[in-house]
Chain A
Amino acid sequence: MSLRFRNSLVPLLLLAALCSCDREERQGRGKPVSETVPTASPDTVFLATQKLPPLDARALSYERNASAISEGQRLYNWMNCSGCHFHGGGGMGVALMDDKWRYGGRIDQIVASIAEGRPNGMPAWRGKLTEQQMWQIAAYVRSLSGQVPKDSVSARADETSNTPPQTQVKREPTTPADSAEQ
C-alpha cells in the first residue's frame, strides 16, 4: 500500500464512520415551536400522468432515523392504527405492507392521509397528533413495505408476528394512485 493511498484512505474511512452517527439521533423537541403549528396539507393525490412535486425536505430526516421509526411504531399501536390496519396486513382498513397506495405511498402523502383522513373510515388526526408524531407514524408505515433504509429499522417487532423482521422485508414497488386496484 503506497503511503499516498493510505494517507487518503484513512480520512475517508473516518468520514465514513461518521455517516452512521445520526441513525438514532433523537428529535426530542423537533423543530422550533412556530414550525409545529399545523398548516393545511397540500392535495397529495396525483394522477399517474401528473408530475409529482418535489419530496418534502423533512422526509429523509424521518426515514433514516431509527428513533423516529420506533416512535412511529409505538404511536401506531397507541393510537390504535392496528385496530383497523392490523400490523400492516390490513383488516377493516387497507393493508399497509403491500405495493398498493390509494392516496400515494410517498411519506408526505402518507402524512397527508393521516392528517386529513380518507373516505370509508380513516379518521383525520390533525389537531390530535402533533406534526412530528404524524411524520413518525408515516415513517413506520413506510417501513412496513420495506421503503426505508434497512439500517434504520428495528430487527424486532414490538408485537408477535409471523412475518420476517423488518430488516428482511422486501422493498415493494409503489404503484401510482390511479393504477392501484380501487
Chain B
Amino acid sequence: MTARIWILALFPVMLAGCNGFQNAMGGDGAESANFVSLFKLFMVVCTVMYFIIVAAMAVAIWRRRKSALTVDDRRHHETSHLVTPVLFGWTGLIVVGLTALTVASFLTDRSNAASAMKPALHLTVTANQWWWDVRYEQPDVSTTVRTANELHLPVDTPVHVTLKSTDVIHSFWIPNLAGKQDLIPGRMTDVQLLPRKTGLYRGQCAEFCGIQHTQMALDVTVESKTDFERWYSSQLATAKPPATPLQLAGLRYFTTRECSACHNIGGTPAGGQVAPDLTHFASRRSIAAGAMPMNKGNLYGWIADPQSLKPGSHMPTVGLEPSELHALVAYLETLK
C-alpha cells in the first residue's frame, strides 16, 4: 500500500519535465498549437468514451448479480428490451465520435499545410555528429548567413527548413514549435515552422545518432522582426580584427594551426568547412551544441580538453601550451 502511495506521489515529479523551453505541449508555434488543440480534443473524446465503457461494464456486473433471470424460471433467453436501443445508440456514438476525430485531424493537417504555403525565409539545416550546421539561404549569395547550433527566427513568419545529414540519420525537433522530422544522409527532407510567441526554446536531436546524441541541441531564439533583422545584419559582418596583442596571438594560432583545418572564421584565412562556423561564436548561448553555457570558464575547458567534456566528439584534444590557450580564448571571446 505504501509503495502504491509512493508511486502516485512520484507522478507530479514527471511534470517537472514540462519546463517552458523544451515542451511539446508548449504551443508556441502554429503547428505545435494545432497539435495541442487536437491533442486536447482527442483527450476529451477518449476520456468520455472510456468512462462510458467503464460505466457500462459496471452496470452489466451489477445487473447480473441482482438479476432474477435464471435458468430455473425459463426466462434466461429473453433479452432486456433496452438492449436494442442501447446498441443502436452505442454504434451511433462511435460513428459520430470517430467521424469528429477524423475531421478534426484532417482540418489540423490542412491548417498545418496552409500555414507553410508561402515561406518568407528559407533555411538549410545540416546535421552532423554531433552539431547542427545552419544556413540562411538567400537568392543573393552574398547575403547568405552560416551559423551553427543556433536558430534565430522572426515571430509570425513562415519558415521553410530543408534538412540534410552528412553522416547518419538524425531527427530535427523543436518541441515548442513543431513536430519531428528525420534528416537522412543522401536525401533532402523538410519541415515548416511558424513561431507564434517570442522566447528562447531548445531543439534536440530526436533520433539516436551515436555516443553524443544527448549533447546535440539547438538554441532557438524567436524574436520580433526588428530584432531578427538586427541579428541578421550583425551575422553578415565578418569577424572583428583583434584589438590586443594577446588576441592577435590567438588569431595567429587559429589561422595557422589545427583549428583552421576544420573551422571557418569569416574575414580571416581560417576556412575549414567540416566543423561549426565560428565567425560570431561568442554571440551564441552555448558551446558544443548545447553541451555547456557560453562563458569564459567553459571556453577554457572546452578548448583545453574537449574529449573530457564531450567524449567521442570530433574536436580533438590538441595539447595546447597555456600561453596558446590564453591567446585563443582571448581571441574567441571577441567573436561577437
Partner-B contacts on A (CB < 8 A): 26, 28-30, 33-37, 71, 74, 78-79, 127-130, 132-133
Contact = CB atoms under 8 A, between A and B. Distances in A.
Contacts of B262: 78
B318 A36 contact: yes
A130 B308 contact: no
A133 B258 CA distance: 11
B305 A127 contact: no
From DSSP, what is the main secondary structure of chain B's interface residues?
loop
Nearest first, the 5 A-B pairs at minimum CB distance are A36-B319, A29-B307, A28-B307, A28-B311, A78-B274
A29 B317 contact: yes
B316 A133 contact: yes
Given A29-B305, A30-B317, A33-B305, A130 B311 contact: no
Nearest to B308: A29
B95 to A, nearest CB: 51
Contact of A130 (B211, B256, B319): B319
A145 B274 CA distance: 27
A71 B257 CA distance: 20
B246 interface: no
Nearest to A160: B186
Given A26-B312, A28-B311, A29-B311, A34 B319 contact: yes
A133 B262 CA distance: 12
A161 to B, nearest CB: 14
Contacts of A37: 319
A78 B272 CA distance: 9
Nearest to B316: A130
Contacts of A33: 305, 317, 319
A127 B312 contact: no
- Count chain B CB atoms within 10 A of each CB in A35, A71, A79, A128 and give the residue with the most: A128
A76 to B, nearest CB: 12
B205 to A, nearest CB: 19
Nearest to A74: B314
Contacts of B314: 71, 74
20 contacts: A26-B211, A26-B312, A29-B311, A30-B307, A30-B316, A30-B317, A33-B305, A33-B317, A33-B319, A36-B317, A36-B318, A37-B319, A127-B256, A127-B257, A128-B257, A128-B258, A130-B258, A130-B317, A130-B319, A132-B316
B261 interface: yes
A115 B65 CA distance: 89
Interface residues of B, number: 18
Contacts of B256: 127
A92 B314 CA distance: 28
Contact of A28 (B257, B261, B312, B318): B312
Contacts of B305: 29, 33
A78 B316 CA distance: 14
Interface in B297-332: 305, 307-308, 311-314, 316-319
A53 B216 CA distance: 45
B318 A130 contact: yes
B250 to A, nearest CB: 16
Contacts of A130: 258, 316-319
Interface in B235-262: 256-258, 261-262
Given A29-B305, A34-B319, A129 B312 contact: no
A37 to B, nearest CB: 5
B308 to A, nearest CB: 6
Nearest to B311: A28
Contacts of B274: 78
A28 B261 CA distance: 19
B319 A129 contact: no
A129 B307 contact: no
Interface string B205-221: 00000010000000000
B319 to A, nearest CB: 4
B261 A128 contact: yes
A26 B314 CA distance: 12
A68 B318 CA distance: 17
A79 B261 contact: yes
A26 B311 contact: yes
Contacts of B311: 26, 28-29
Contacts of A36: 317-319
Contacts of B318: 36, 130
A119 B85 CA distance: 94
Contacts of A128: 257-258, 261
Contacts of A71: 314
Nearest to A127: B257
A139 to B, nearest CB: 15
A113 B144 CA distance: 39
Nearest to A26: B312
Nearest to A27: B307
